[in-house]
Amino acid sequence: MNKISKVKYQPKIKSWPKEFGDKLPLNEAFMSFQGEGRYIGHPALFLRFNYCNLGCSWCDTRFTWDTDIIEDGQLLSVNDIIELSTKLLKSSHLEPANIHVVLTGGEPMLHQDRLPALIVQMRKTGFNFFEIETNGMYSPSQDMIDSIDWWNCSPKLSNNGLAQTVNVVPDAVRSIYATGKSDFKFVVDSAEDIAEIKEYYLPLIAAESVILMPEGFTRSRQIDNMATVNQLALQNGYRFSPRLQILIWGNERKK
């Protein structure tokens, strides 16, 4: 992406209801494998929630937030989500204790006032490991810190088309890092991105918690970027993660 297109990009973000009651706007739920980061390859139940506050230019889940294509999804109670989760799990030969539940979006932290109640009830039915995928712009409540087993935090760089003054919320990044159970996955496409990680994020988090992933939501773009990003990780002392779901399925849904 060149500098001109970065400046021109303006996301069209659908505003979210002020009052959800105790319900959660579920866009989709499905069984798959964690495709990125520390728990790559682990069987997982994905719960994808609608709405995002940011609107990255290369987002592969625009259907959760873009005014032009957002899908209604369903406003579901905790019991509805547990019933759906149990039904989905039955399609595999796995027990709830042997999978991870991945809360994703969109930006699931927009719903942090209601997610702990869901997690408490899901734990009672046997689910026992909860990951969250967040852009790192919201500081977690104590209930969220207590509820989540692993934070997959993906703070954004200006390769998403937005200024770093928009992307970086230092207090939120610090507080997620302070949970002691987090990785920071950065979507990268060039050496310029490494300079941004160092300038904006390494004052907030340790280099050991950084994972680089190739930008691109098509299989060919992933493959084109992987070698470069892999070497950037090695040269800078970071970890590297492919994005298995894209390599295997391209941008097919529910994978």
The footprint of ligand SF4 (CB under 6 A) covers 52, 54-56, 59, 61, 105-107, 135
Is the CB of 55 or the CB of 116 nearer to ligand SF4? 55
Beta carbon of residue 89, minimum distance to ligand SF4 (angstroms, whole number): 25
Beta carbon of residue 187, minimum distance to ligand SF4 (angstroms, whole number): 8
Beta carbon of residue 162, minimum distance to ligand SF4 (angstroms, whole number): 9
Phi and psi torsions of 246, nearest 5°: -80, -40
Is the CB of 52 or the CB of 103 nearer to ligand SF4? 52
Is the CB of 89 or the CB of 107 nearer to ligand SF4? 107
Beta carbon of residue 196, minimum distance to ligand SF4 (angstroms, whole number): 16
Beta carbon of residue 111, minimum distance to ligand SF4 (angstroms, whole number): 13
Cβ neighbours of residue 170 closer than 8 Å, sequence gap 6 or more: 204
Beta carbon of residue 243, minimum distance to ligand SF4 (angstroms, whole number): 12
Is the CB of 169 or the CB of 247 nearer to ligand SF4? 169
Beta carbon of residue 97, minimum distance to ligand SF4 (angstroms, whole number): 29
Amino acid at 80: D
Is the CB of 105 or the CB of 216 nearer to ligand SF4? 105
CA distances from 40 to 131, 172, 224 (A): 12, 25, 21
Helices (H), 204-243: 219-236
Is the CB of 37 or the CB of 89 nearer to ligand SF4? 37
Is the CB of 59 or the CB of 102 nearer to ligand SF4? 59
Tokens matching residue 156:
């954004």
Which residue's entry shows tokens 């494998």?
33
Distance in angstroms (rounded) separating the CA atoms of residues 159 and 188: 8
CA distances from 19 to 16, 23, 25, 110 (A): 9, 9, 11, 12
- Beta-sheet strand order (sheet of 210-214): 74-76, 24-33, 43-49, 100-104, 130-134, 150-153, 182-188, 210-214, 239-240
Phi and psi torsions of 49, nearest 5°: -105, 150
Tokens matching residue 194:
């490494």
